[in-house]
Amino acid sequence: MEITISSRGADPSEALIAAARLKIGRLPRFAEGMELARVHFAEEKNPRIADKELCEVVMEGHGHQVRCKVSAPDRFTALDQAVEKLEHQLTKLKSKFGARGR
């Protein structure tokens, strides 16, 4: 799986990049055939928003696109929450198309 990591504002740390590659790299076991994952980190500038760190993940493969967007107090928590959401979405996708052999 090809994983692309980008960020708006500050550059992501090496630890964050390594964690993202590790956690996103495990997701294809929930639904085979996912070929591309784009991870984007950003920071919300509005002072009234408590969860400022955003993590958006888009996965593509076999003509399907799975996407999630999560906000959290820090980037690592946002990444963990995004992975949880994607696991749920990929499991649903696998059960939906598993009977047809996709």
| Residue 3's pLDDT band (cuts 50, 70, 90) | very high
The pLDDT value recorded for residue 93 is 87
> Residue 100: is its pLDDT beyond 60?
no
Question: pLDDT of 10-43, one tens digit each?
Answer: 889 999 999 999 999 999 888 888 899 999 999 9
Give the number of residues written for the chain: 102
- Report the share of the chain in percent with pLDDT over 90: 69
**Structural domain containing residue 81:** 2-100
Helix axes of 75-97 and 14-25: crossing angle, nearest 10 degrees? 10
The per-residue pLDDT for 102 is 47
Q: Identify each DSSP E strand in 2-85 by its residue range.
A: 2-7, 36-43, 53-61, 64-72
Q: How many structural domains comprise the chain? A: 1
3-state secondary structure of 43: strand
pTM of the model: 0.88
Q: Give 98's contacts (C-beta < 8 A, 6+ positions apart).
A: none
- Supply φ then ψ for residue 52, to 5 degrees: -85, -25
pLDDT surpasses 60 at 99 = no
Q: What is the pLDDT of residue 40?
A: 97
> CATH no. for residue 63?
3.30.160.100
